[in-house]
Amino acid sequence: MINPDSVGRTFHGVDQITVTQSEIDSFAAVIGETNTTVAPPTFSIRISLSQYESILTQPEIGVNWSRLVHGDQKFEIFRPIVAGDVFTCSATIETLRVAAGNEIISVRSDLHNGPELVVSSWSTLVVRG
């Protein structure tokens, strides 16, 4: 069960994630994008999802990652991601509800390069009961 006390709190990932050109190239290749001077619009999910996994599965939050389904996703991109960006990722648990035995959380992730907010994203994650 997800700890209801985690709602409204912001958790910070401990990692600093450096974006490489080869990561942008691989992601772009999958969707057929040939211009890789900037990352494709959904590239940041690569960072957010792995950070969510390490942040949200901590015992004080308690998300069961093996039963997770992605419900929806939103990105606000303040500037495109480029190779050499070094990100820290936060996860804010905005809402938690239970419906039909599933736990549904809405999580906001902010990716900062130093003090600069580059991408905010919102994910609805469903932990199947």
Partner 1 sequence: MIEVGMVLEEKIFFVDRDLLKAYADASGDQNPIHQNEEFAISVGLPNVIAHGMLTMALAGKYVSDWAGGSANVREFSARFIKPVIVPAGEKVDLTVNATVIEIDGNTFKLEITATSAGVKVLGMAKAVVVK
Phi, psi of 62 (to 5 degrees): 90, 30
CA distance 2 to 105: 9
Binding mask 104-123 for partner 1 (x = CB under 8 A): ------------------x-
* Cβ nearer to partner 1, comparing 90 with 120: 120
What is the separation of C-alpha 124 from the centre of its chain, rounded to a whole number of angstroms? 10
Pick from 2, 45, 107, 118 the residue near partner 1 by CB under 8 A. 45
Contact residues toward partner 1 (CB under 8 A) are 23, 26-27, 29-33, 35, 37-42, 45-46, 49-50, 70-77, 80, 122, 124
